């Protein structure tokens, strides 16, 4: 049978873009279907616009810190509408650049929503397109729990387009998104209350990271309500009233609510059942090579709910193409993926947590090396900021299993450390590395 394309990609996010361009470079005839701007969550309403807003929020600290270094105190004024407009302009520029890159690669861009008709056919509106292989890369979307008044909340997607900056914001959820937006909005001058179901934010991260980051957020002016849930949201004269249960039972008046309790694969109305694509635990089921239950249909990125990070989706997409179109079978390695939370302060991690290493090896086989100190930068500012660096080591072979950090520029530091962890460096290798002084990162080789 003759097909319209060798590869048809549904979803022009990070994984889909990476796969389509690489497949075209191998000589495949490729098309990509997208019903939104090109770029996916990362470019449009995730990593990039969020990081730009993180940068914006940090200037408030710089104005304060400068006084300790002899600069005259000033009363800066922040323009929310200007920032939102500038971020949107940059997002659209990046989206246009992705479109240009597709054109240069020879990939056809088809606008509209792609729906599977069968294992080789995708409908886009009234048009039906056939392909030898199909790649699904449709990402994920925010979860909303069915509580009274849930229609009044914002999701992360909404935060990038608010016409007015809320004076009082409740952030519901203690994951990446909740923690990062709590820091952003606090830094921009909003009064922020973060509401979490557990003792500490960032479930799954190292315990020291969770505690230190939460304490740092509190020092910086964010109110964290632990072991608390939102039972109901109602409109009030002052904005919205939240009814809370748990440790902070009662009511809370705010101007807006960011609901960030998680995300799930965006699979609605995709036609998976038409093509016999299996779904498990609300995600597309795939094997190590991103192949679904249909041999010619593949899926990468958040819609598979493996490791939901942009670099992972990109590698999954490229690995799929290398395997299927270049005869170079490979799959993504999910070990030692570095992650960062751009909160206030920053936190980052690579490899095993202390808790995970103990569970895997036993407490008697795990050594912990930790440094906690006030960074030199704040010796003159007077701020009570702290940095925490931590190494998790296997006592039997001295291998560094994990590294963690909380504090300024933590994400920039951990990327280099991740190389060492991935290569299997030992604690002796770290100790034998000459320190770069004075820096925060040097503590990783001197602790």
| Residue 15 sits in the same domain as residue 138 | yes
Asked if residue 176 belongs to a domain, the reply is yes
* Predicted TM-score of the model (pTM): 0.96
- In a domain, residue 59? The reply is yes
Question: Domain tally for the chain?
Answer: 3
In a domain, 161, yes or no: yes
Examine the domain organization and report whether 103 and 221 are in the same domain: no
Name the token pair of 23: 């497949």
Q: How many residues does the chain have?
A: 447
Output DSSP code: residue 435: P
Provide DSSP, 74-101. ------HHHHHHHHHHHHHHHHHHHHHH
| 34 inside domain | yes
Could you tell me if 38 and 175 lie in one domain? no
Q: Are residue 314 and residue 380 in the same domain, yes or no? A: no
The answer on 231 and 319 residing in a single domain is no
CATH code, 395: 3.30.390.30
Nearest to 346 by CA among 217, 258, 257, 442: 217
In a domain, 337, yes or no: no
DSSP sequence for 389-400: EEEEEETTT-BE
End-to-end CA distance of the chain: 64
158 and 10 assigned to the same domain: no
Single out the residue of 101, 87, 89 nearest to residue 48, CA to CA. 87
Residues 122, 167 within the same domain: no
67 in the same domain as 40: yes
CA distance 287 to 138: 18
Alpha carbon distance 116, 272 (integer Å): 6
Q: Within 10 A of 119 (CB to CB), how many other CB atoms are there?
A: 17
Give CA–CA dist 161/88, Å, rounded: 8
Residue-wise pLDDT tens digits, 56-83:
999 999 999 999 999 999 989 999 999 9
Last residue of a domain, one of 261, 286, 312: 261
pLDDT by residue, tens only, the chain of 447 residues: 799 999 999 999 999 999 999 999 999 999 999 999 999 999 999 999 999 999 999 999 999 999 999 999 998 999 999 999 999 999 999 999 999 999 999 999 999 999 999 999 999 999 999 999 999 999 999 999 999 999 999 999 999 999 999 999 999 999 999 999 999 999 999 999 999 999 999 999 999 999 999 999 999 999 999 999 999 999 998 799 999 999 999 999 999 999 999 999 999 999 999 999 999 999 999 999 999 999 999 999 999 999 999 999 999 999 999 999 999 999 999 999 999 999 999 999 999 999 999 999 999 999 999 999 999 999 999 999 999 999 999 999 999 999 999 999 999 999 999 999 999 999 999 999 999 999 999 999 999
Which of 214, 240, 261 is the C-terminal boundary of a domain? 261
Give the CATH number for residue 57: 3.50.50.60
Domain that includes residue 419, residue range: 345-446
Is the distance from CB of 314 to CB of 320 less than 8 angstroms? Answer: no
**418 with 336: CB under 8 angstroms?**
yes
Q: Is 411 exposed, middle or buried (0-12, 13-18, 19+ CB in 10 A)?
A: middle
131 and 269 assigned to the same domain: yes
Of residues 77, 229, 234, 212, the one with CA closest to residue 151: 234
Domain identity same for 25 and 161:
no
16 and 132 assigned to the same domain: yes
Nearest Cα to 154, choosing from 176, 173, 134?
A: 173
Is position 332 within any domain?
A: no
Cβ-in-10-Å burial (0-12, 13-18, 19+) of 78 comes to middle
User: Of 261, 280, 315, which residue constitutes the final position of a domain?
Assistant: 261
Question: Phi then psi for 10, rounded to 5 degrees?
Answer: -105, 110
In a domain, 334, yes or no: no
- Find tokens 């299927």 and name the residue: 324
Residues 211 and 63 in one domain: no
Cα–Cα distance list, 73 to 56, 60, 77, 173 (Å): 19, 12, 13, 35
SS3 readout for 165-176: CCCEEEEECCCH
- Residues carrying an active site annotation: 437
Residue 333 included in any domain: no
């Amino acid at each position: 049978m003759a097909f319209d394309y060798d590869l048809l990609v549904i979803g022009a996010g990070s994984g889909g873009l990476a796969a389509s361009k690489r497949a075209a470079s191998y000589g495949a005839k490729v098309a990509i279907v997208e019903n939104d701007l090109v770029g996916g969550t990362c470019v449009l309403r995730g990593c990039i616009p969020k990081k730009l807003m993180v940068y914006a929020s940090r200037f408030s600290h710089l104005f304060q810190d400068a006084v300790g270094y002899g600069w005259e105190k000033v009363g800066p004024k922040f323009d929310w509408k200007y920032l939102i407009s500038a971020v949107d302009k940059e997002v659209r520029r990046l989206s246009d650049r992705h479109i240009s890159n597709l054109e240069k690669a020879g990939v056809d861009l088809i606008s509209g929503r792609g729906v599977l008709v069968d294992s080789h056919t995708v409908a886009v509106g009234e048009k039906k397109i056939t392909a030898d292989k199909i790649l699904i890369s449709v990402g994920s979307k925010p979860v909303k729990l069915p509580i009274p008044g849930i229609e009044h909340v914002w999701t992360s997607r909404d935060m990038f387009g608010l016409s007015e900056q809320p004076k009082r914001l409740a952030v519901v959820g203690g994951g990446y998104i909740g923690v990062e937006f709590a820091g952003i909005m606090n830094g921009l001058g909003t009064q922020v209350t973060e509401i979490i179901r557990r003792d500490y934010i960032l479930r799954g991260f190292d315990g020291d990271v969770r505690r230190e980051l939460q304490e740092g957020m509190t020092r910086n002016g964010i109110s964290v309500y632990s072991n608390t849930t939102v039972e109901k949201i109602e409109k009030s004269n002052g904005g919205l009233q939240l009814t809370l249960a748990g440790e902070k039972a009662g009511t809370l008046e705010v101007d807006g609510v960011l609901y960030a309790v998680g995300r799930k694969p965006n699979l609605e109305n995709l036609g998976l059942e038409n093509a016999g694509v299996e779904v498990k635990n609300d995600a597309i089921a795939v094997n190590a090579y991103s192949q679904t239950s249909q041999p010619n249909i593949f899926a990468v990125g958040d819609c598979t709910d493996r490791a939901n990070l942009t670099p992972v989706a990109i590698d999954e997409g490229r690995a799929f193409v290398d395997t299927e179109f270049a005869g170079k079978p490979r799959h993504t390695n999910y070990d030692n993926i570095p992650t960062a939370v751009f909160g206030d302060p920053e936190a980052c991690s690579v490899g095993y947590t202390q808790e995970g290493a103990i569970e895997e090896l036993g407490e008697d086989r795990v050594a912990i090396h930790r440094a906690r100190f006030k960074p030199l930068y704040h010796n003159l500012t007077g701020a009570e900021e702290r940095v925490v660096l931590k190494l998790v080591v296997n006592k039997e072979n001295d291998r560094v299993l994990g590294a963690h950090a909380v504090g300024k520029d933590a994400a920039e530091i951990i990327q280099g450390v991740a190389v060492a962890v991935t290569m299997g460096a030992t604690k002796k290798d770290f100790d034998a590395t000459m320190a770069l002084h004075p820096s925060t990162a040097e503590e990783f080789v001197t602790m």
